[in-house]
């Protein structure tokens, strides 16, 4: 596996990943902008509108028929928050030409179709189609309202909001209902033009492909030719705990009609120098030992010993340098669970973990690093993550860095960790 | 060892039955780093009532035993837990229980052999004690409660309940907090000895394997057990009719979710062909390029493409159309009107060809990832299907056959609706 990066225009990169393991090619376009309150809802609306029709395929039905004819190519789009960036994502997955009997090239057709959707939207009198805008505004409103439906996710979102009050990272990736009223076919198209002309664009193409041929197809595409050089401003994802008042733990309880209580604890990692790239690897190990595998302290103590939870784990949010600890528990067991979790944090501080635990965690991490190239979307996500953090490690270098971490360094991380917020969703 | 090749997806299946009765399937994938192993028993949550081979009396166990066993199999003598051992080796291990089978799996990029030794060891050596059985009740209790909070799960299980009045498919796979409280180690051993006999089990391996060598290696890891004869799986007789037309449940959600279900009859012949036909029909009726979907989307009645599914074993079969809508009942009306019209007008030849092409592509994509491939071969095997059959049958299927299945299955007297709606 190797990634070849080609600058198509200033601010527009083509990433080619040659990999012959799959029966499919995966093509994606990521448009990245710094997160902010004014744009967040509009960004969420854009992919929804674009998938409705292009100048060539005027309706969703036309697009879908075309995809079905292309041996069921899958189109997908969405919006993600990565650190303090908002990323509009488009994907098209189609069969590699080796598995079809047609003479025409499915890969060329796929690249052109995806670019058509992203860069060549259906316009009526120089603005978006009003019917599509109205429909998608209603749709997005319902998605925003549906924030409460998945209680696990909701509690995580709420804990994030508490930790990053009034900061960009607290923003909900789908935006806010009240912003929708102001959006219409004209001003959204104007905004879209700005986005397409100014934003950082990354195109990833993965599969069993001839790099020169693919580069050519991309460069010769009419929609790509139309694009200009741009600054492509984005927020480099570095270890930045810019948060949040940490004098005293913020404890939040919220009530909803739930059977099980959802506990989320947000941890800060303090005293990190921004230019110190080694910290990341140390925190990754800390987090794995604390709660990221079946051998972890949380799984062993909260689940296996105290039988308080079925799911309990910790997750390291690298771009923000924070950790979330989560557990689904009986509501009455709140204090018990919290005490046990705090004990685990103390144990980490005091170095109460063995060399075996460190080695197990390292093995676990090697395995997930080895798996990166085994799935096309994982591979793309890995390289895009590096693009946004501007830190480039091959999987082998990544493993090397993990290998170098020692116990003392993990203890040092543990002693710089503090609880920022404890959020509990209960009945 | 038998070799079955499929030239369209360019894959081979090596299949063998070992002396102890275990079926082994190997799908070699050259140059892939990940190796996947899955070992399953043809025993799931639906099998709470059975007659073990050689016995004359029916055994009835509490609901949720198959899933409980799945949790407890990792426990080893001396207090070690195989899940910990596997994690320490850096492999990703897991297990799951369905209505008709239970499976133990891991995926590795290194340490395949020590991990496989552990898998083979814990599956063939159960260790249940009163104490370790008791402790699991708390954990599984939380698992059950977690699902109770998930609207998607609730709307699904209620749809099945609406269709089925007797078949255990209508029950939670994990059982209930009440039913699992009655489980003890003797029950677990009884079910283990009945269903975890190699002759009732299948092992599937996918990755960069040399099949001849690998099969010899697998043989060395076998514990010889006395082969068992036929196990009688007993199901109460399920009427052809649905149980109830609708189930509506209120939960704290923002928008209703719904599933429209059709109860199908269990067939024994042409199951693959029937499955493909149902998939084609569902796409023609309400797929992403259908007139009906366009209408529902444009009128704001549906937010995104419907989820379409056909589920079946040898004791149940049903179809599901699911989604979110402010007015699920209106979606149902639109659907029924469309189905009546399509029955009259017949299926459109061009649409039919396009959907066939799409489904062919979907089937080929199933062969992308070692885990997906392994799980597919395992699940299909327990249904009596070789997964390659789908690739072959899709080419052959014709519009007349699809039309006949359409008329037979999609009838309102077999239709139910399950809705989860907001509290107020």
A94-131 per-position pLDDT tens digit: 999 988 887 778 999 999 999 999 999 999 999 999 99
Distance CA A78, CA A54 (A): 17
Residues A204 and A295 in one domain: no
Catalytic residue among B70, B107, B279, B421: B70
Lowest-confidence region among B52-56, B308-312, B383-387 = B52-56
Q: What is the pLDDT of residue A248?
A: 87
Residue A273 has pLDDT above 80, yes or no: no
Q: Where in chain B is the domain with CATH 3.30.830.10?
A: 2-233, 246-422
Residue matched to tokens 């056959």: B401
Q: Do residue B91 and residue A22 have CB atoms under 8 angstroms apart? A: no
CATH code given to domain B2-233: 3.30.830.10
Q: Is residue A310 within 8 angstroms of chain B, CB to CB?
A: yes
For B378-394, the pLDDT digits (tens) are 999 999 999 999 999 99
A151 touches chain B (CB under 8 A): yes
Evaluate if residue A1 carries a pLDDT over 90. Answer: no
pLDDT value at residue A104: 78
When CB atoms are compared, the residue of A65, A71, A304 closest to B289 is A65
Do A157 and A265 belong to one domain? no
Please name every residue paired with B49 in a beta bridge, in sequence order, or none if there are none: B60
Edge-to-edge order in the sheet of strand A85-95: A2-9, A12-18, A200-207, A24-34, A85-95, A74-82
Tell if the CB–CB gap between A72 and B358 is shorter than 8 Å.
yes
The pLDDT value given to residue B69: 97
Token readout for A366 is 């090697």
Q: Domain ends where: A225, A260, A275?
A: A225
Does B404 contact A at CB distance below 8 Å?
no
Does A310 contact B146 at a Cβ distance shorter than 8 Å? yes
| pLDDT above 60 (res B349) | yes
Cβ of residue B301 closer than 8 Å to a chain A Cβ? no
- Residue B306 in contact with residue B157, Cβ under 8 Å? no
Residue A247 has a pLDDT of 73
Residue A271 region by backbone torsions, left for phi larger than 0, else alpha for psi between -120 and 50, else beta: left
The answer to whether the CB of B393 falls within 8 A of the CB of B273 is: yes
Question: B60 touching A, CB under 8 A?
Answer: no
Confidence grade of residue A294 (pLDDT, cut at 50, 70, 90)? confident
Shared-domain flag, residues A281 and A163: no
pLDDT at B158: 98
Q: Which residues of A touch B306 (CB under 8 A)?
A: none
ipTM over 0.95: no
Q: Is B212 a residue of the active site? A: no
Q: Where would I find the beta strands (DSSP E) of A318-427?
A: 322-329, 417-426
CB-nearest to B354 from A24, A65, A374 is A65
Chain A residues touching residue B294 (CB < 8 angstroms): 59-61
The answer to whether the beta carbons of residues A289 and A345 sit under 8 Å apart is: no
Do the domain assignments include residue A361? yes
**What CA–CA distance (Å, rounded) separates A75 from A94?**
9
Interface contact A295-B364, CB threshold 8 A = no
Tell whether A238 is covered by a domain: no
- Long-range CB contact pairs, A277-283, < 8 A, 24+: A277/A391, A278/A401, A279/A239, A279/A321, A279/A413, A280/A239, A280/A318, A281/A401, A281/A402, A281/A404, A281/A405, A282/A405, A282/A409, A282/A410, A282/A412, A282/A413, A283/A316, A283/A318, A283/A321, A283/A323, A283/A413
The tens digit of pLDDT for each residue in A44-55 reads 999 999 999 999
Distance CA B29, CA B278 (A): 31
d(CA B34, nearest CA chain A) in Å: 7
User: Region A391-405: what's the mean pLDDT?
Assistant: 93
CA neighbor of A292 nearest in space, from A334, A265, A321, A326: A326
Residues A163-199 have pLDDT tens digits of 999 999 999 999 999 999 999 999 999 999 999 999 9
Q: State which residues form the domain around A156.
A: 2-225
Q: What is the mean predicted confidence (pLDDT) over A244-255?
A: 85
> Most B CBs within 10 Å: which of A47, A51, A63, A64, as the mutation test of the B interface?
A64
B262 pLDDT more than 90 = yes
pLDDT tens digits, A215-244 = 999 999 999 999 999 999 999 987 565 656
Tokens linked to A261:
């209580």
pLDDT of B59 strictly over 90: yes
Q: Grade residue B24 by pLDDT with cuts at 50, 70 and 90.
A: very high
Does residue A240 fall inside a structural domain? no
Mean pLDDT confidence for B285-310: 95
Residue with tokens 């320490």: B88
Residue A237 lies in a domain: no
Report the pLDDT value the prediction gives residue B79, as an integer from 0 to 100.
85
Q: Which residue has the higher pLDDT, A275 or B231?
A: B231
Q: Rounded CA gap, B29 and B35, in Å?
A: 9
Q: Which residues pair with A92 in a beta bridge?
A: A27, A75
For residue range A349-375, list pLDDT tens digits in order. Answer: 999 999 999 999 999 999 999 999 999
Tell me the per-residue pLDDT of A295-330, one tens digit each, with 9 for 90 and over.
899 999 999 899 999 899 999 999 898 999 999 999
Tokens found for residue A139: 């749709």
Judged by CB atoms closer than 8 Å, whether chains meet at B110 and A367 is answered as yes
Confidence (pLDDT) at B103: 98
Distances, alpha carbon B80 to alpha carbons A290, A310, A353, B73, B114, in Å: 20, 19, 18, 11, 16
pLDDT for B255:
94
Compute the nearest-CA separation of A292 from chain B (Å): 11
Cβ neighbours of A280 (radius 10 Å): 18
3-state secondary structure chain B: CEEEEECCCCEEEEEEECCCCCEEEEEECCCCCCEEEEEEECCCCCCCEEECCCCCCCEECCCCHHHHHHHHCCECHHHCEHHHHHHHCCCEEEEEECCCCEEEEEEECCCHHHHHHHHHHHHHCCCCCHHHHHHHHHHHHHHHHHHHCCHHHHHHHHHHHHHCCCCHHHCCCCCCHHHHCCCCHHHHHHHHHHHCCHHHEEEEEEECCCHHHHHHHHHHCCCCCCCCCCCEECCCCCCCCCCCCEEEEEECCCCCEEEEEEECCCCCCCHHHHHHHHHHHHHHHHCCCCHHHHHHHHCCCCCCCCEEEEEECCCCEEEEEEEECCCHHHHHHHHHHHHHHHHHHCCCHHHHHHHHHHHHHHHHHCCCCHHHHHHHHHHHHHCCCCCHHHHHHHHHCCHHHHHHHHHHHCCHHHEEEEEEEECC
Q: CB-based contact (8 Å) between A373 and chain B?
A: yes
Please tell me the distance from the alpha carbon of residue B132 to that of residue A377, in angstroms, as a whole number: 40
The verdict on A219 and A261 lying in the same domain is no
Which CATH number is A382's domain given? 3.30.830.10
If we measure between CA atoms, which residue out of B390, B385, B402 comes closest to residue B359? B390
Q: Given CB atoms, is A208 within the 8 Å cutoff of chain B?
A: no
Is A158 found in the same domain as A32? Answer: yes
**Backbone dihedral angles phi then psi of residue A206, each to the nearest 5 degrees:** -125, 135
* Same domain, yes or no: A198 and A288: no
Q: Which of A399, A337, A413, A397 lies closest to A368, judged by CA?
A: A399
Average pLDDT across chain A, whole number: 94
Q: Name residues 324-353 of chain A within 8 A of B (Cβ).
A: 328-330
B1 vs B24, B216, B305, CA distance in Å?
9, 11, 44
DSSP annotation of A174: T
- CB-based contact, A256 to chain B, within 8 Å: yes
Nearest CA in chain A to B361: A71
Residue A204 to residue A29: CA distance in whole angstroms: 6
* Cα–Cα dist B308/B297, whole Å: 16
- Is residue A261 domain-shared with residue A338, that is, in the same domain? yes
Neighbours of A246 (CB within 10 A): 15
Of B86, B142, B298, Cβ closest to residue A310: B142
Interface A-B: count of C-beta contacts within 8 A: 178
In chain A, pLDDT over 70 holds for what percent of residues?
A: 97
Q: Are the Cβ atoms of A68 and B357 closer than 8 angstroms?
A: yes
Number of domains in chain A: 2
The pLDDT score that the predictor gives to residue B192 is 97
Element at A311 (helix H, strand E): strand A309-317
B18 in contact with A at a CB cutoff of 8 Å? no
Q: What is the pLDDT of residue A276?
A: 76
Quick check: A246 pLDDT over 70? no
Does residue A245 lie in a domain region?
no
How many Å apart are CA B18 and CA B24, to the nearest integer? Answer: 7
Q: Give A141's pLDDT tier (boundaries 50, 70, 90).
A: very high
Is B88–A72 a contact, with Cβ atoms under 8 angstroms apart? no
* Interfacial B residues in 164-203 facing A (CB < 8 Å): none
Residue A64 tokens read as 């879908």
SS3 state of residue A275: coil
Å from A370 to nearest chain B CA? Answer: 6
Which fold, B246-422? Cytochrome Bc1 Complex; Chain A, domain 1 (3.30.830)
pLDDT at position A242: 61
At B328, the pLDDT band (50, 70, 90 cuts) reads very high
A309 class by beta-carbon count within 10 Å (0-12 exposed, 13-18 middle, 19+ buried): buried
Tell me if A94 and B355 make a contact (CB, 8 A cut-off).
no
pLDDT of residue B285: 98
């Amino acid at each position: 596996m190797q990634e070849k990066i080609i600058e198509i225009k200033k601010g527009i990169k083509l990433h080619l990943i040659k990999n012959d393991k799959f029966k499919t090619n995966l093509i994606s376009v990521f448009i990245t902008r710094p997160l902010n309150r004014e744009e967040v809802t509009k960004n969420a609306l854009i992919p929804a509108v674009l998938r409705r029709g292009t100048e060539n395929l005027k309706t969703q039905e036309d697009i879908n028929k075309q995809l079905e004819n292309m041996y069921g190519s899958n189109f997908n789009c969405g919006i993600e928050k990565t650190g303090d960036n908002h990323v509009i994502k488009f994907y098209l997955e189609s069969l590699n030409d080796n598995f079809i009997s047609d003479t025409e090239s499915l890969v060329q057709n796929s690249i052109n179709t995806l670019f058509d959707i992203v860069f060549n939207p259906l316009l009526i009198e120089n603005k978006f189609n009003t019917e599509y805008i109205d429909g998608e505004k209603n749709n997005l409103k319902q998605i925003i309202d549906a924030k409460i439906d998945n209680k696990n996710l909701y509690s995580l979102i709420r804990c994030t909001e508490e930790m990053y009050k009034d900061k960009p990272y607290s923003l909900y990736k789908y935006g806010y209902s009240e912003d929708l009223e102001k959006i219409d076919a004209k001003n959204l198209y104007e905004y879209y033009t700005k986005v397409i002309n100014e934003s950082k664009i990354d195109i990833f193409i993965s599969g069993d492909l001839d790099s020169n041929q693919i580069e050519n197809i991309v460069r010769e595409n009419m929609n790509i030719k139309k694009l200009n050089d741009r600054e492509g401003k984005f927020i480099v994802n570095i270890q930045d705990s810019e948060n949040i008042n940490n004098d005293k733990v913020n404890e939040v309880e919220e009530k909803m009609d739930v059977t099980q209580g959802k506990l989320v604890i947000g941890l800060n990692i303090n005293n990190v120098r921004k230019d110190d790239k080694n910290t990341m690897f140390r925190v990754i190990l800390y987090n794995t030992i604390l709660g990221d595998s079946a051998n972890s302290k949380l799984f062993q103590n909260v689940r296996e010993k105290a039988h308080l939870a079925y799911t309990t784990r910790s997750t390291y949010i690298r771009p923000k340098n924070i950790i979330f600890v989560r557990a689904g528990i009986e509501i009455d067991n709140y204090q018990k669970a919290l005490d046990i979790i705090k004990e685990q944090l103390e144990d980490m501080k005091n170095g109460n973990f063995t060399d075996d635990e460190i080695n197990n965690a390292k093995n676990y991490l090697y395995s997930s690093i080895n798996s990166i190239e085994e799935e096309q979307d994982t591979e793309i996500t890995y390289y895009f993550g590096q693009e946004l953090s501007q830190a480039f490690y091959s999987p082998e270098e990544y493993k090397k860095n993990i290998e170098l971490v020692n116990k003392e360094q993990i203890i040092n991380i543990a002693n710089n960790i503090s609880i920022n917020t404890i959020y509990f969703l209960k009945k | 060892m038998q070799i079955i090749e499929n030239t369209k997806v360019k894959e081979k299946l090596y299949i063998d039955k070992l002396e102890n009765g275990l079926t082994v399937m190997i799908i070699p994938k050259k140059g892939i780093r990940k190796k996947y192993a899955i070992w399953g028993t043809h025993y799931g949550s639906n099998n709470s009532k059975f007659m073990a081979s050689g016995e004359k009396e029916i055994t009835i166990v509490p609901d949720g035993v198959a899933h409980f066993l799945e949790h407890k199999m990792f426990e080893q003598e001396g207090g070690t837990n195989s899940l910990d051992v596997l994690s320490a080796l850096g492999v990703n291990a897991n297990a799951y229980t369905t209505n008709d089978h239970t499976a133990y799996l891991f995926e590795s990029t290194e340490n395949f052999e020590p991990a496989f030794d552990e898998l083979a060891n814990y599956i063939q050596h159960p260790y249940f004690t009163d104490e370790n059985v008791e402790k699991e009740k708390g954990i599984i209790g939380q698992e059950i409660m977690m699902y109770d909070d998930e609207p998607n799960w609730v709307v699904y299980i209620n749809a099945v309940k609406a269709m089925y009045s007797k078949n255990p498919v209508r029950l939670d796979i994990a059982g209930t907090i009440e039913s699992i409280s009655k489980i003890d180690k003797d029950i677990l051993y009884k079910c283990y000895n009945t269903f975890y006999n190699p002759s009732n089990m299948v092992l599937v391996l996918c990755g960069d394997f040399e099949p001849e060598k690998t099969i010899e290696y697998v043989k060395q890891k076998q514990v010889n057990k006395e082969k068992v004869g036929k196990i009688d799986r007993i199901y109460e007789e399920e009427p052809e009719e649905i149980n109830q037309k609708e189930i509506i449940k209120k939960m704290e959600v923002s928008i209703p979710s719904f599933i429209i279900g059709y109860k199908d009859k269990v067939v024994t012949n042409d199951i693959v062909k029937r499955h493909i036909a149902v998939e084609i029909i569902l796409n023609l009726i309400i797929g992403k390029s259908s007139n009906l979907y366009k209408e529902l989307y444009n009128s704001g009645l549906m937010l995104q493409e419907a989820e379409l599914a056909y589920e079946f074993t040898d004791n149940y079969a049903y179809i599901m159309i699911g989604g979110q809508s402010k007015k699920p009942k209106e979606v149902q009306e639109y659907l029924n009107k469309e189905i009546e019209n399509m029955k009259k007008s017949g299926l459109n030849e061009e649409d039919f060809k396009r959907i066939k092409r799409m489904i062919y592509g979907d089937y080929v994509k199933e062969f992308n990832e070692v885990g997906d491939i392994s799980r597919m071969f395992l699940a299909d095997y327990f249904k009596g299907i070789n997964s390659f059959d789908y690739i072959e049958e899709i080419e052959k299927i014709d519009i007349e056959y699809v039309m006949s299945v359409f008329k037979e299955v999609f009838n309102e007297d077999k239709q139910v609706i399950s809705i989860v709606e907001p509290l107020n």
